[in-house]
A and B are shown apart, each in its own frame.
Chain A
Amino acid sequence: MNPAEVALTPFERPSTLAELCRTLSARAGRKERTVLLAGGTDWIVERRLAQPEDTEDLPLVLDVSRLPELRGIHVAKERAEIGAAATFLEIRHHPALSRRAPVLTAMAREVGAVQIQARGTLGGNLATASPAADGAAALMALDADVVLASAHGERRVPMTGFFTGYRKTQRAEDEAIVRVEFALPRAGAHQAWRKVGTRAAQAISKVAFAAVVELDGGRGVRAGFGMASVAPVTVSLPTVRALGLAASPASVSDDELDAATRRDIAPIDDLRSTAAYRAHVASALVKNFFQALRTSGGS
């Protein structure tokens, strides 16, 4: 962001969700652009690297980082709700989440380093819709719903259908992401998080993988997957998921898993890795997870 943009970009801090929705609705009606700013870990960097904008047509920046309705983490008996502006650090240190949804805790621990975890949020992760969104992968594995609010009320969109294309989501211009919700996996569910990057901290994933599978007498009764950095959007691996819901996921062969993984991803060569490496790692991560189901006795 150049000095003129910094000086001229309007900035407001709505104090309630209702106020935020009114502003979004009025501006969307007039086709005026609005940016919802939470931790800024993507937007501030991207604006700095981007071409200068026309200072006559700057977006309004709305700081939602401390909006009460977007804050907080609630873990009840069977469901969890996480505010869109809850930070990765808050998620990481939430004791009930680490007991019931360790896939999410492990993800939050590996997003950036502490400085990024302290600012980054799930709402920002979903709205930015990077194909490398670790948070989105974990939420897909948990079969979460994204709750969007506008002046017309709330609606929910399943995580598996939230992304519509490269950096595109179901969120309309007049909507804000308020929270995510999911049914907590039952005790004993198999949950896994694996992030493959250049180094342990700070790296953007070459491949990230999240999985949640519940078995009942060897039968797959709940299965969710998420994989980042292997397609234009974070993907939910639907073919792999079908194998996770099979009569006996522990008996699925490696060949079947390889074929399913290949069908569900569309990796590319880019500055962080190659398509061939990503395809190899993606298959290995899926096979390792199913291998763990086998060694656990398929129960």
Chain B
Amino acid sequence: MKITFVVNRRSRTIDAPPLARLLDVLRGPLGLTGTKEGCGEGECGSCTVLLDGVPVNACLVAAGQCDGRRVLTVEGLGKRAGLSALQDAFVKEGGAQCGICTPGFLMSAHALLAANPRPGEGEIRESIAGNVCRCTGYQRIVESIRRAAKERTPREPG
């Protein structure tokens, strides 16, 4: 099936089985290996990407359901010139350790800040409740997101 969708602001057309997972299509034909597979069952959030701006588990989305839609992956956050403010905050606050869960956390946090630029701690924690991290104990991730919210300039694209 020909699937045409916008990935990281660029229109892409691929030929893939409609029931292939969005996760495999991103990592395979599109070469976007920033999105990681954790559990493959929608529990851990490692493969979180934004579908029309909303966080979803890419392991639970059929590629055929993405035709005509908009996908944002971790590769779409930064620019060639550097990291996004959110990514930078994760570096500065030690929000990333082994790194497998990090792209998923970044996407969940990115969606939160796009909708709610000044989230409280409860809102931050709820937004990442679908992402599992086995290294950090979450505190530094929460602090990273809080720092990004504080430092975010209003001009940064949502």
Does A9 count as interface, using CB distance less than 8 angstroms? yes
Contact call A61/B56, Cβ cutoff below 8 A: no
Contact call A202/B64, Cβ cutoff below 8 A: no
Contact call A63/B64, Cβ cutoff below 8 A: yes
Q: How far is the CA of A118 from the CA of B55 in the complex (A)?
A: 7
Does A284 count as interface, using CB distance less than 8 angstroms? no
Contact call B64/A115, Cβ cutoff below 8 A: no
Question: Interface-forming stretch among B38-46, B85-93, B150-158?
Answer: B38-46
State the Cβ distance, A4 to closest chain B Cβ, in Å.
10
CB-defined contacts of A113 to chain B, threshold 8 Å: 45, 129-131
Contact A114-B42, Cβ < 8 Å, known A11-B1, A11-B18, A40-B61: no
Does B108 count as interface, using CB distance less than 8 angstroms? yes
Q: Mark A1-43, 1 if CB is under 8 A from B, else 0.
A: 1000111010101000000000000000000000001011100
State the Cβ distance, B49 to closest chain A Cβ, in Å.
10
Give the residue among A37, A40, A61 with the most B Cβ atoms within 10 A.
Answer: A40
Give the residue among B40, B51, B64, B65 with the most A Cβ atoms within 10 A.
Answer: B65
Q: How far is the CA of A116 from the CA of B56 in the complex (A)?
A: 7
Contact call B61/A119, Cβ cutoff below 8 A: yes
Contact call A202/B17, Cβ cutoff below 8 A: no
Q: How far is the CA of A116 from the CA of B54 in the complex (A)?
A: 11
CB-defined contacts of B67 to chain A, threshold 8 Å: 13
Does B8 count as interface, using CB distance less than 8 angstroms? no
State the Cβ distance, B128 to closest chain A Cβ, in Å.
8
Does B114 count as interface, using CB distance less than 8 angstroms? no
State the Cβ distance, A52 to closest chain B Cβ, in Å.
14
Which chain A residue has the least Cβ–Cβ distance from B20?
A6
Contact call A115/B130, Cβ cutoff below 8 A: yes
Interface residues of B in 120-140 (CB under 8 A from A): 126-127, 129-131
Does B30 count as interface, using CB distance less than 8 angstroms? no
Q: How far is the CA of A26 from the CA of B120 in the complex (A)?
A: 53
| A115 partner, pick from B18, B19, B21, B57, beta carbons under 8 A | B57
| A9 partner, pick from B19, B61, B126, beta carbons under 8 A | B19
Contact call B129/A201, Cβ cutoff below 8 A: yes
Contact A118-B19, Cβ < 8 Å, known A11-B64, A40-B62, A48-B40: no
Q: How far is the CA of A66 from the CA of B19 in the complex (A)?
A: 16
Listed by A's residue number, 18 A-B pairs whose Cβ atoms lie within 8 Å are A1-B19, A11-B19, A11-B64, A13-B64, A13-B67, A37-B65, A40-B65, A45-B41, A63-B65, A113-B129, A113-B130, A114-B55, A114-B111, A116-B42, A118-B56, A119-B56, A200-B129, A201-B130
Query: B-contacting residues of A (Cβ < 8 Å)?
Result: 1, 5-7, 9, 11, 13, 37, 39-41, 44-45, 48-49, 61, 63, 65-66, 89, 112-116, 118-119, 200-202
In the A-B complex, the 4 residue pairs with the smallest Cβ-Cβ separation, listed nearest first, are A113-B130, A201-B129, A11-B18, A113-B129
Excluding A11-B17, A63-B65, 14 further A-B contacts by CB distance (< 8 Å) are A6-B20, A11-B62, A11-B64, A45-B42, A48-B40, A49-B41, A112-B130, A113-B131, A114-B127, A115-B45, A119-B56, A119-B57, A201-B126, A202-B130
